[in-house]
Amino acid sequence: MTCSKASSGCSPVRPALPDGYELSDDRARIDTAAVHAYLSTLYWAEGRPLAVVADLVRSSARVVGLYHASAQVGFARVLSDGATTCYLADVYVEPAHRGRGLGAALVAFAVDGDPALAGLKWLLHTRDAHNMYRRIGFHEPSSRVLER
Ligand X SMILES: CC(C)(COP(=O)(O)OP(=O)(O)OC[C@H]1O[C@@H](n2cnc3c(N)ncnc32)[C@H](O)[C@@H]1OP(=O)(O)O)[C@@H](O)C(=O)NCCC(=O)NCCS
Helix (H) or strand (E) holding 105: helix 102-112
User: Is the CB of residue 91 less than 8 Å from the CB of residue 107?
Assistant: yes
Given the rule CB under 6 A, which of 27-35, 52-60, 92-100, 111-119 is the region that contacts ligand X?
92-100
Of 13, 98, 116, 141, which one interacts with ligand X (CB under 6 A)? 98
Which residues, 42 to 61, sit near ligand X by CB under 6 A?
A: 42
Of 104, 108, 110, 111, which one interacts with ligand X (CB under 6 A)? 104
85-93/121-123 β-pairing: parallel
User: Is the CB of residue 46 less than 8 Å from the CB of residue 53?
Assistant: no
Shortest-Cβ-distance residue relative to ligand X = 103
Task: Work out how close the CB of 59 gets to ligand X at its nearest, in angstroms, rounded to a whole number.
Answer: 20
Quote the CA–CA distance of 116 and 125 in Å, as a whole number: 22
User: Is the CB of residue 110 less than 8 Å from the CB of residue 88?
Assistant: yes
Quote the CA–CA distance of 26 and 121 in Å, as a whole number: 23
Contact string 15-44 vs ligand X (x = CB under 6 A) = ---------------------------x--
Of 23, 57, 73, 93, which one interacts with ligand X (CB under 6 A)? 93
Residue whose CB is less far from ligand X, 92 or 122: 92
Q: What does the longest C-alpha to C-alpha distance in the chain come to?
A: 44
Residue whose CB is less far from ligand X, 116 or 147: 147
